[in-house]
């Protein structure tokens, strides 16, 4: 019997090494990694510059404490502030923790305004994490069921629907913030409309709410800009980061601007590991590589190339409903649940993911080349075609 808690339905494979977009198992079989540790390995595997920086750091120090100054953490905060146009950063170790910090900032902000029972607007089909507050904010009953009582104080509206947000603003004076994803990654790679963020900014400004964006999946070049909000010319008050930020080393960040940037004081919040020297070095090196290797531009170009290619190769395939996405966050929506494609992909040496039951999600490393992108399309196309041509299982 395994001594692991049964929290993941694991596939029958373990990898022993990786290089670029490739992973290898113990038998030496090679896999094209179009999942990148679920949008984590932005630089692919074993990027030589990241490996060198981490090796060097491990030989000096791994961890001290936030009781002391950590130069790499301060530099990383400066870098994130410079790249985002925002002011301050709190470092933690995961996306859920980054969102916990955002939720605490929103509540603190409300209490400072004299609102005893502050509410946060959240969206249907959103995903914010698995801790109690973040699963309560998440718009999925599957994530919440069995863990009630949920954390209160969340008001839910449909995604990409400004009218619904305006209705809440008109009727609920306890709202202090909205927490949103601009591309709902776990929710099925749904991209918001071009006017959505600007509309949210206006509603937030008119009502004194904080505009908080969960960029845990969309941040760090994934959508073709360093941060997803940069497509829309609007800056949030709070942004959360994690997945891609450390190039595979666990790190999360809650970034804030204006009033939200200076609410926390010593004692308000903390994290033992958050922003330690190793994680901060990983973050600094990752951002440096994303910039110097022009990976945002590559994400834009390769994302467009993959989507255009798939639209061509799957054009005549009935059952493909939509091919969509932004940068290298790509979804292929089918007309039926397609979880088994993950296993057929694995057998064929292709690592993909299925989310929202019927959406194939591709989040390859941002370093993917055109030849590798073509290979991805050429291997994925027949898998999807033959899956859709199979007769549907007889209804039970």
Ligand X SMILES: *Cc1c(COP(=O)(O)O)cnc(C)c1O
Question: Taking CB under 6 A as the rule, does residue 100 contact ligand X?
Answer: no
DSSP string computed for 268-291: TB--SSTT-HHHHHHHHHHHHHHH
Distance CA 241, CA 223 (A): 13
Using the contact rule CB under 6 A, the part of the chain among 95-103, 228-236, 334-342, 371-379 near ligand X is: 95-103
Using the contact rule CB under 6 A, the part of the chain among 125-133, 159-167, 231-239, 281-289 near ligand X is: 125-133
User: How wide is the angle at C-alpha 239 spanned by C-alphas 354 and 181, nearest 5°?
Assistant: 35
Question: Taking CB under 6 A as the rule, does residue 242 contact ligand X?
Answer: yes
Among candidate residues 33, 90, 91, 127, the one labeled active-site is 127
Nearer to ligand X, 128 or 231 (CB): 128
Among candidate residues 90, 91, 154, 243, the one labeled active-site is 243
Q: Could you tell me the smallest distance in angstroms from the CB atom of residue 127 to ligand X?
A: 5
Evaluate the omega torsion of the peptide bond into residue 56 and state whether it is cis, within 30 degrees of 0. Answer: no
Residue 42 token pair:
């932005």
Q: Could you tell me the smallest distance in angstroms from the CB atom of residue 189 to ligand X?
A: 11
Nearer to ligand X, 160 or 214 (CB): 214
Using the contact rule CB under 6 A, the part of the chain among 10-18, 75-83, 123-131, 294-302 near ligand X is: 123-131
Residue 383 token pair:
């898998």
Using the contact rule CB under 6 A, the part of the chain among 63-71, 153-161, 180-188, 292-300 near ligand X is: 180-188
Question: Taking CB under 6 A as the rule, does residue 94 contact ligand X?
Answer: yes
Distance CA 12, CA 159 (A): 36
Is position 243 annotated as part of the catalytic site?
yes
Token pair 């509540």 is found at 107
211 closest CA partner among 97, 86, 111, 117: 86
Interface of this chain with ligand X, residues 349 to 388, rule: CB under 6 A: none
Question: Taking CB under 6 A as the rule, does residue 181 contact ligand X?
Answer: yes
Q: Give, in order, the Cα–Cα distances in Å from 242 to each of 15, 42, 86, 165, 239.
A: 23, 11, 16, 27, 10
Nearer to ligand X, 84 or 217 (CB): 217
Helix, strand, coil distribution of the chain in percent, nearest 5: 40, 20, 40
Residue 199 token pair:
């509309």
Residues in a beta bridge with 23: 18, 31
Nearer to ligand X, 38 or 301 (CB): 38
Distance CA 304, CA 377 (A): 12
- Residue from 22, 31, 127, 387 touching ligand X (CB under 6 A): that is 127
Is position 214 annotated as part of the catalytic site?
yes
- For the chain, give the number of residues: 396
Question: Taking CB under 6 A as the rule, does residue 136 contact ligand X?
Answer: no
Q: Which residues bind ligand X (CB under 6 A)?
A: 94-96, 99, 127-129, 181, 185-186, 214, 216-217, 242-243
């Amino acid at each position: 019997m395994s001594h692991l808690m049964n929290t993941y339905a694991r596939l029958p494979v373990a990898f022993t090494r990786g290089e670029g977009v490739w992973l290898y198992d113990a038998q030496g079989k090679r896999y094209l990694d179009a999942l990148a540790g679920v949008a984590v390995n932005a630089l692919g595997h074993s990027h030589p510059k990241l490996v060198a920086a981490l090796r060097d750091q491990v030989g000096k120090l791994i961890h001290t404490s936030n009781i002391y100054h950590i130069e790499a953490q301060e530099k990383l905060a400066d870098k994130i502030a410079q790249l985002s146009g925002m002011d301050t950063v709190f470092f933690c170790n995961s996306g859920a923790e980054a969102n916990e910090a955002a939720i605490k900032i929103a509540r603190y902000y409300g209490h400072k305004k004299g609102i005893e029972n502050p509410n946060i607007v959240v969206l249907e089909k959103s995903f914010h994490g698995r801790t109690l507050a973040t699963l309560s904010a998440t718009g999925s009953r599957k994530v919440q069921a069995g863990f009630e009582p949920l954390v209160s104080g969340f008001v839910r509206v449909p995604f990409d629907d400004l009218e619904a947000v305006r209705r809440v603003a008109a009727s609920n004076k306890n709202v202090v913030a909205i927490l949103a994803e601009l591309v709902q990654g776990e929710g099925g790679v749904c991209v918001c409309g071009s006017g959505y963020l600007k509309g949210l900014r206006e509603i937030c400004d008119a009502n004194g709410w904080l505009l908080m964006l969960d960029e845990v999946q969309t941040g760090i070049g994934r959508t073709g800009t360093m941060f997803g909000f940069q497509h829309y010319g609007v800056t949030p008050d709070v942004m959360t980061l994690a997945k891609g930020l450390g190039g595979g080393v666990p790190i999360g960040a809650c970034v804030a601007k204006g009033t939200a940037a200076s609410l926390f004081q010593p004692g308000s919040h903390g994290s033992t590991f958050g922003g330690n020297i190793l994680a901060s070095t990983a973050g600094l090196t990752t951002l440096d590589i994303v910039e110097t290797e022009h990976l945002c531009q590559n994400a834009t170009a390769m994302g467009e190339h993959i989507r255009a290619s798939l639209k061509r190769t799957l054009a005549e395939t009935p059952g493909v409903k939509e091919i969509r996405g932004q940068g290298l966050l790509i979804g292929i929506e089918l007309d039926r649940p397609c979880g088994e494609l993950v296993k057929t992909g694995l057998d064929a040496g292709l690592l993909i993911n299925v989310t929202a039951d019927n959406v194939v999600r591709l989040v390859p490393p941002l370093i993917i080349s055109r030849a590798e992108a073509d290979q991805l399309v050429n291997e994925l196309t027949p898998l999807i075609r033959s899956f859709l041509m199979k007769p549907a299982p007889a209804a039970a």
